[in-house]
Structure 1
Amino acid sequence: MQKLKVAVVGAGLYGRNHLNAYTWNPNAELVAVCDKNKQITDAVERDYKVATYNDVDEMLDSMDIDAVSVATPDPYHKEPVLSAIHHGKDVLVEKPLATSSEDAYEIIDAAKEAHVRVMVDYHKRWDPASIAVKNKLMDKSTGAPIRGYMRMDNIYDVALCWLKWAADSSPVHFVGTHCYDLIRYYMNCDVTEVYAVGHKGILQSKGVDTWDTITANLTFENGCTWTVENAWILPNGFAKADDGCTEILCENEMIRVDSQKRGVEFFDDQKQTTPNVCFIQNANGRPMGFGIEPLNDFVDCILNDKPFYADLNDGLEAELIAEAVHKSASIHQAVKIERRK
């Protein structure tokens, strides 16, 4: 089988996972990496022995590339995605597809015109717990879902230390869209209306102008209602960088998922740690877990012309919800989801 020649754009906090995934995938060849930061590309060239660039268009004009994997920060996806599309390349982009519906529609229109495909890495769909919940909901004996609750929060350090661009994002875009996409995946239908409330001030006082926390109520086409909570102000002493749980009340059964505790605990003289053993693990140098599987699926789908697990429409719908959540929290009113006709 011919290998898929992949280039990665963005080799920072999460981009290294892309480099490792394509390096180990037997059906992929990592041929180039682009990042605006020359210190990063110098390190990548040293560690991965691969061609590096600091300009996306220069890389795409110079190299023989089949597909592009975009792992730039959340607010800066549009430019490299459009560059790849305009060069006729299929694309995988980290969630969210975009941080505005206007940008999402621009990407959709460009991909349609160029006849290329774009996959969005909402990797929670590959989480074994999520797959088990989806299968349970598809079992007719479970009955229709009536209401749901989902929470995904991050510790302070995510906004204050990890993400230099946190002021250009929010807990809604960083973890909330994971929730919105995963719930759509569970419900197999779309959101019609959003009502949200939030709090600002704590992170602003620490120099990051964004929401501390937002709680959103989502109404779906099937009549099920969901409450979704997202925050960036968990104490840094929390056992993991993120916290998450899900509860779904159905006609005949209840489903509960504790994503924070995965059955493994570490203790030292300072605190308890609960690692997410299912996300990304190093197995004798080889990366594995549901943070890696979407990248492997991308390669498989391109080489074998299979549909993506999370496509452009999924990326758009998650952004439409996020946009409505921000608007509702700002104007203190319910917001109906408006889609382009």
Structure 2
Amino acid sequence: MSGAAPRLGVVGCGTYGQQILRCFAAEARRGRVTLVALCDPHADRRARAEAEFALPGFAEAGQMMQNCALDAVAVATPDHLHAGVIETAAHHGLHVMVEKPLDVNLARATRLSDSFARADRILYVDQHKRFDPGHIRLRQDLAAGAFGRPLYGSVHMEDRIEVPEIWLRDWVGHSSPSWFLGVNFYDLVTWLTGLAPRRVYATGQKGVLEQRGLPGIWDSVQAKVDYDTGFSMHYDLSWILPASFPSIVNQGIRIVGSEGLAEVDSQQRGYFAARADAPGALEGNPFGVLEHDHPLFGPVTDGYVFEAIRHFLDVLAAWRDGGSARALAGRYPDAASALTAIRLAEAVDRSLASGGIEPV
């Protein structure tokens, strides 16, 4: 990669792929990246993205990589399809940003991590919870010992039912509340505390989604996870909140220590709206996703969701300016750090199947 702005393609133009495209389009107007092409196997979705972003579209990721002289790709495919795209990118010597989870198989994810390290290429996992200002403050306070020794805590992350029923309907059978939602906070808790999970006991419920034509899909999962030093976290994860809930996701984290506690409510961030043309009130998160017109650059993207995407460009610039994947390891959400969350998600699956406590 030369000193010019990196040439980047986006694989996947669904809900999150659209956010990635909007973010990189804004950064292209600042001269930080050249957005070259996009890829999606669904012709209608691809055509809409081609028109909106004025980019050539491809039905197959390898074809895009073969024809577009790229430096990097951003991957926003269904989770179980990440590995194939990443392997193709590795074959073409490209850097990769991929949505969480890196993969849904620990052994395969480990091989991907190792192969990118050997090739001195960046494999960046978009763990945007690490970029939430509330979580950054919590991590600083924990590191400073502000709450004493961490003892226990809890997480809740709950989506409206439209997420599995509509957004993910074509591939929801390859996911669960643990994989789609839990991985966010499995990663975050280790990042916050520096502690590794040791064992898990998980339970779950089914029935709501089965009645809506999605047989065998978990409605909700609860996981009690024990970490190093005796620290314990409870995770409540579901994706069956009613359509009337005022935001797409309800989420928060609480940690209690020997000398205090902290709570971060990631859903109620102080923005409420009720409109005549909408069926219900809205509680938005302006800290997470904010799009507005900049007087110099036109439409821009702000908030920690987009900051996590932009940080990929910072890492590529550091690599280009004489860094290496080895030297930059641990300074961004790299593949190696993503493995703990995958390991825990697999242990949750084992516990749900066995009905017992499973090692992580």
Interval containing the TM-score (normalised by the shorter chain): over 0.9
- Normalised by the size of structure 1, how large is the TM-score? 0.95
Query: Residue by residue, what CA displacement relative to the aligned partner does 1:271-329 show, whole Å, maximum 9, x if unpaired?
Result: 33211111111111211111111121111111112444211122211111011011101
Which residue of 203, 227, 250 corresponds with 1:197?
Answer: 203
Measure, in 2, the Cα distance between the counterparts of 1:162 and 1:63. 30
Structure 2 residue identity aligned to 1:36: P
Distance apart, 1:19 and its partner CA: 1.1
Q: Which residue of 1 aligns with 2:46?
A: 41
Measure, in 2, the Cα distance between the counterparts of 1:300 and 1:141. 31
Q: Percent identity?
A: 29
The answer to whether the 8 Å contact 1:191/1:321 transfers is yes
Measure, in 2, the Cα distance between the counterparts of 1:124 and 1:141. 21
Structure 2 residue identity aligned to 1:139: A
Measure, in 2, the Cα distance between the counterparts of 1:316 and 1:207. 33
Measure, in 1, the Cα distance between the counterparts of 2:67 and 2:198. 45
Aligned residues: 337
Which residue of 316, 319, 324 corresponds with 2:342?
Answer: 319
Q: Which residue of 1 aligns with 2:300?
A: 286
Point out the more displaced range, 174-183 or 163-172. 163-172
Measure, in 2, the Cα distance between the counterparts of 1:247 and 1:301. 31
Measure, in 2, the Cα distance between the counterparts of 1:241 and 1:146. 31
Measure, in 2, the Cα distance between the counterparts of 1:18 and 1:248. 31
| 1:277 and 2:321 correspond | no
Structure 1 residue identity aligned to 2:352: A
Measure, in 2, the Cα distance between the counterparts of 1:46 and 1:215. 42
Q: Which residue of 1 aligns with 2:61?
A: 56
Which residue of 282, 305, 312 corresponds with 1:298?
Answer: 312
Distance apart, 1:268 and its partner CA: 4.1
The answer to whether the 8 Å contact 2:147/2:256 transfers is no
Q: Which residue of 2 aligns with 1:264?
A: 271
Measure, in 2, the Cα distance between the counterparts of 1:51 and 1:310. 30
Which residue of 2, 10, 13 corresponds with 1:11?
Answer: 13
**CA-based RMSD:** 1.5
Which residue of 179, 185, 191 corresponds with 1:179?
Answer: 185
Measure, in 2, the Cα distance between the counterparts of 1:35 and 1:141. 47
Which residue of 76, 79, 82 corresponds with 1:71?
Answer: 76
| 1:20 and 2:34 correspond | no
Structure 1 segment 140-219 matched on structure 2, within 5 A: 140-164=145-169, 165-208=171-214, 209-219=216-226
Find the residue that maps to 2:338 and give its secondary structure.
Answer: helix
Find the residue that maps to 1:309 and give its secondary structure.
Answer: coil
Distance apart, 1:124 and its partner CA: 0.7
Q: Which residue of 2 aligns with 1:328?
A: 351
Measure, in 2, the Cα distance between the counterparts of 1:3 and 1:251. 48
Structure 2 residue identity aligned to 1:7: G
Find the residue that maps to 2:271 and give its secondary structure.
Answer: coil
The answer to whether the 8 Å contact 1:86/1:114 transfers is no
Measure, in 1, the Cα distance between the counterparts of 2:284 and 2:162. 17
Q: Which residue of 2 aligns with 1:237?
A: 244
Query: Residue by residue, what CA displacement relative to the aligned partner does 1:85-104 show, whole Å, maximum 9, x if unpaired?
Result: 11111111000111121331
Change (3 A) 1:251 1:330: same
Q: Which residue of 2 aligns with 1:120?
A: 125
The answer to whether the 8 Å contact 1:96/1:173 transfers is yes
Measure, in 2, the Cα distance between the counterparts of 1:236 and 1:167. 21
Find the residue that maps to 2:205 and give its secondary structure.
Answer: strand
Structure 2 residue identity aligned to 1:229: D
Measure, in 2, the Cα distance between the counterparts of 1:51 and 1:156. 34
Find the residue that maps to 2:108 and give its secondary structure.
Answer: helix
The answer to whether the 8 Å contact 1:86/1:110 transfers is no
Measure, in 2, the Cα distance between the counterparts of 1:116 and 1:301. 11
Find the residue that maps to 1:278 and give its secondary structure.
Answer: coil
Point out the more displaced range, 99-108 or 78-87. 99-108
Distance apart, 1:140 and its partner CA: 2.5
